Chain A
């Protein structure tokens, strides 16, 4: 092997540099730029000149400074200790950076991604002489109180176990297994972020990705292994949606990528998550979370790195057989970074200045989601395992206009479309998911699951609500022409019930102690109560009860206030209210005839 290739800086243009004398360097390789040794990635090669995007601010450098190729692509280190960490876009722990440069991030810093001193309690699960191949478990360590981290044979490696470390405490760099061909394995390995990790095959999805958000779980559910995008103008509520899902969803592990967004939002997560409990295990929420943070004022090229870093970490846990959910807030900032670099390279721009390969990049990225059969030897001892990677990508369209390229291209490759609506947000209807515009392509596949596992009558009640909202939209058009007074009582009842569906059921305040999370039981029960109220009042109106009498009746407020009841114990209260409604309406009918 030859020594490192060292060239000279020949151009500096914001986040993009060129270096001469770099013959032999490959696309995607990492370079160290200038005397400060800033990290960059080769994105174009022209003869002996390479162009690189630099993950740090390039100002202050002179032409002629050295550029050195490291000969490896941008990779992340995978192993126990990832959970609970906060990384920047290139997997440097922010805590380590704080230790070395204080409250403001300096340039040219390096940092080990994983704690290599910490000892992990290792339990081997193979023995000498076993044949192992990619994905086979060698053993495991308790990464957190509730989560076993399975140490796997890294991709492209196989052989017979020549030696295996016995139960005991080891750090991540100690050899825990040796193969007959001499390969030494530790608890970690590296993987290039832009290459999807291998698996055996994709599987059809069967279970829902439950978010604890009524509008999503009831109307637009996504599958474990699916993907959804959340487009919306500024302040529409994308970040809150991503954070709520991170807190309450039914994944085992969350990778939260803050890509080109606010520093304070990350501080918020760091402040809040350690004190919240993981709904699945009861442990601290932070213990199932990995944060990858590249705020808007951090170098723009690292935004691209951050989403790839995030998804590679997610795939790694998926490969162990876990359900992983990745939140990307916001994918538009990544697309903008692509646009900026592309324009510095003077590439021919596509729509709105974005590079023509934008759609291909987005498609490749969304394709990394899915429910999969993991790689491993399938025999008596190594059972087949499944993992899943679900992606929720925020999209920040310019001017809130969904016809722009990032929204359109992401829509094409994702299965859920949760459109946030500024007008709803302005009237504090949160989550501002527009029920007319949004959709989920997974609903059909999920029908059997909901029928079997969700509260009784789920699909029917859902349909009833969807029909009412549809009718409401039509009636609103009439109202806008002639006023509500021109409508029949039955029609006005539909308007009122729809208003209740919107206010009581679709809205969900993220800051409410009792309603931030809605279990499937509560979601189903609340809709059921509303629909029973509807059916009963419909009857009452038919029997001649005045609509105003119904609307003023205290039982209506009781239904509306059901929302305030915690998911725990919800159904008990719901039953009381439903009985109250039935009795009340019978009473009104009796009085009317």
Chain B
């Protein structure tokens, strides 16, 4: 958020008439434009910020960023700080730490803005978008082999409480490479409602991994004002757009935890007494989330890119909950963590069946990974799905009632989870992933592999047995 323009004497009003939850109502709706940022000066001299959400002739609705505790109607003065919420952009933000509204909290000098940008952003013209197609090798087999990430994609991690989403995200941040490329990249990290421990984990890992100087962090922790959570991702993406499309950086934006973000959205909506949509979340949550997630991508003729990895916690591990549901409807796929795998000690516990990368096909294939990458992945996917069905069946009818071929699939699925998915913390490059995939396919009879071209099967297929994996 920009500094107030102190040289201009701002006109003050004593307009407050009603306070509820995070909202303050002013008795005159006509003084400020919608979206404007206001300063509220309390009697004790403390200053808080608010944003105008709605204006009518009888009142204006203002959401207070730092909460309404302690604000009283009589002694609080309101003045205009800025016509819109803005963020100071400059390459000097790299390596710096801000609060959720973009004010530095690292004790260093304020940012000298090269440009002040409204954090709401505007939509990229669809005809200006360039096709994202640079393969990012994350070193995670479940992603690289089956749900490939490409530059400019938005690929969220759907987690459950207690599942190691942060560790996976960190692994991606630390280990990602784009082959044959040494372009400048920056990690932008927006934390929304993280516990101090989680937030520290990230910052420490960045330091240890040597990314510290290439990270821009927007920190809103669990005990920070909730409304600022609505600003943190927008500040982060404003900086991201500036760095990517003005300065040519490859930007990776990690947004966590989107569940906290959505809860704040719900809180505001209920304070405004809006008609709730599913499970109390506002009906416009899809639209609101899209104004965050759609700010990823590439632009024709520009060098930089914005890749987004939002992380969210599925309440009750329920993928149909509005938060993962609406996210999945906007993002370009999802990486889903599974509790069952986590319990078995598989790390990263990626449940690949519900995972998807919609841009995978742009990033793989001839000249990028392998010409047969897609078929290879489809075959392994289908075989794993079948193996899982067999496992379910076995739980009911017992192993003896299975056919020979079913038993093959069962063995395949078990080893797939254990070795392909459960790679541990070590990086595995894409060639290692491919090799392991072929080895796993060796557990199935050759004629089962009909999703792969015959020539390819002939070239790579080698029968294997369970013993080859131990």
Enumerate chain A interface residues (CB-CB to B < 8 A). 10-14, 18, 20, 57-64, 86, 94-95, 97-98, 101-107, 233-235, 258, 260, 262-264, 266-268, 270-271, 293, 295-298, 300, 333, 336, 339-340, 343, 349, 352-353, 396, 398-401, 422, 425-429, 479-486, 503-504, 509, 511, 548, 552, 554, 556-557, 560-561, 564
Tell whether, in the assembled complex, residue A343 and residue B283 are in contact, meaning their CB atoms are under 8 Å apart.
yes
Answer whether residue B465 sits at the interface, using C-beta atoms and an 8 A cutoff: no
| Listed residue (A104, A260, A429, A557) with the most chain B CB atoms within 10 angstroms of its CB | A104
Chain A neighbourhood of B332, CB < 8 A:
262, 264
Q: Is the CB of B401 within 8 A of A267?
A: no
B268 at the interface (CB under 8 A from A): no
Q: Are B275 and A343 in contact (CB under 8 A)?
A: yes
Q: Is the CB of B333 within 8 A of A483?
A: no
Given known pairs A10-B57, A12-B54, A353-B277, the reply for A486 and B401 (CB within 8 Å) is: yes
Please determine whether A264 and B132 come into contact, CB atoms closer than 8 angstroms: yes
Q: A12-B54, A14-B284 are in contact. Are A398 and B83 (CB under 8 A)?
A: no
Contact A339:B283 (CB < 8 A) given known A235-B356, A264-B132: yes
A contact residues around B283 at 8 Å (CB) = 336, 339-340, 343, 353
Can you name the residue of chain B whose Cβ is closest to the Cβ of A13?
B54
> Judging by beta carbons under 8 Å apart, are B294 and A483 in contact?
no
Q: Are B393 and A271 in contact (CB under 8 A)?
A: no
Which residues on the A side are within 8 Å of B294 (C-beta)?
262-263, 295-297
A511, B278: Cβ atoms closer than 8 Å: no
Residue of A nearest to B326 (CB): A398
Is residue B361 within 8 Å, beta carbon to beta carbon, of the partner chain? yes
CB distance from A301 to the nearest CB of B (A): 11
Chain B window 22-40, contacts with chain A (Cβ cutoff 8 Å), 1 for yes, 0 for no: 0000000110111110000
From A64, A399, A503, give the contact of B278 (CB < 8 A). A399
B125 touches A98 (CB 8 A): yes
The answer to whether B401 touches A426, judged by C-beta atoms less than 8 angstroms apart, is: no
Distance, CA A343 to CA B84, complexed state (A): 25
* Stretch of B103-111, B162-170, B175-183, B377-385 contacting A (4+ beta carbons < 8 Å): B377-385
Q: A59-B84, A103-B125, A267-B130 are in contact. Are A300 and B287 (CB under 8 A)?
A: yes
Residues of B within 8 A of A548 (CB): 404
Quick check: B131 and A557 within 8 Å, CB to CB? no
- The 30 listed contacts between A and B (C-beta, < 8 Å) are A12-B56, A20-B57, A58-B34, A60-B34, A62-B32, A62-B55, A63-B30, A63-B55, A64-B30, A86-B126, A95-B127, A97-B125, A104-B122, A104-B125, A104-B128, A263-B124, A264-B132, A264-B152, A267-B131, A293-B126, A296-B286, A297-B287, A297-B294, A339-B277, A340-B287, A398-B322, A426-B385, A481-B396, A482-B401, A511-B374
Bound Cα distance A98, B299 (Å): 12
Counting CB contacts under 8 A, is B74 at the interface?
no
B361 to chain A, nearest CB (A): 5
Contacts of A260 in B (CB 8 A): 286-287, 290
The list of the 4 closest CB pairs from A to B, nearest first, reads A483-B401, A59-B35, A427-B385, A296-B290
Known: A264-B132, A396-B329. A94 touches B126 (CB 8 A): yes
| Distance A59 CA – B54 CA, assembled complex (angstroms) | 9
Residue pair B406, A484 in contact (C-beta under 8 Å) = yes
Q: A59-B33, A63-B56 are in contact. Are A398 and B291 (CB under 8 A)?
A: no
A483-B453 in contact (CB<8A) = no
Contacting pair B126 A266 (CB below 8 A): yes
Chain B residues within an 8 Å CB radius of A343:
274-275, 283
- Given contacts A60-B33, A104-B123, whether A98 and B128 have CB atoms under 8 Å apart is yes
**B34 surroundings in chain A (CB, below 8 A):** 12, 58-61
Partner of A14, one of B54, B126, B328: B54
Known pairs A59-B33, A233-B325, A399-B321; list 5 more (Cβ under 8 Å): A12-B34, A97-B125, A263-B126, A296-B330, A340-B287
> CB of B386 within 8 A of chain A?
yes
- Whether A428 and B385, one on each chain, are in contact in the complex, defined by CB atoms closer than 8 angstroms, is yes
**Are B353 and A427 within 8 A (Cβ)?**
yes
> When chains A and B are docked, how far (Å) is the Cα of A333 from the Cα of B283?
11
Residues of A within 8 A of B333 (CB): 235
Q: Which residues of B contact A58 (CB under 8 A)?
A: 34
Give the most central of B120, B121, B125, B130: most A CB within 10 Å.
B125
- A485 vs B290: C-alpha distance when bound (angstroms): 50
Asked, given contacts A59-B33, A59-B35, A234-B325, whether A426 binds B353 with beta carbons under 8 Å apart, the answer is yes
Interface digits, B276-312 against A, CB 8 Å rule (1 contact, 0 not)? 1110000110110011001101011010000000000
Which one of A12, A20, A86, A234 lies within 8 Å of B127 (CB-CB)? Answer: A86
What B residues does A401 contact at CB under 8 A? Answer: 320
Residues of B near A422 (CB, < 8 A) are: 354
Per the bound structure, the CA–CA distance linking A18 and B359 in Å amounts to 42
Interface residue B245 (Cβ < 8 Å from any Cβ of A): yes
Query: Would B286 and A333 count as touching, CB distance under 8 A?
Result: yes
Complex Cα spacing A427 to B283, Å: 31
Q: Assuming the A-B contacts A235-B358, A426-B353, are A105 and B122 also in contact, with contact meaning beta carbons closer than 8 angstroms in the complex?
A: yes
B8 CB within 8 Å of chain A = no
CA distance A15 to B359 in the complex (A): 32
Contact B56 A264 (CB under 8 A): no
A428 neighbours in B (Cβ, 8 Å): 378, 381-382, 385
| A552 partner residues in chain B, CB cutoff 8 A | 445, 447
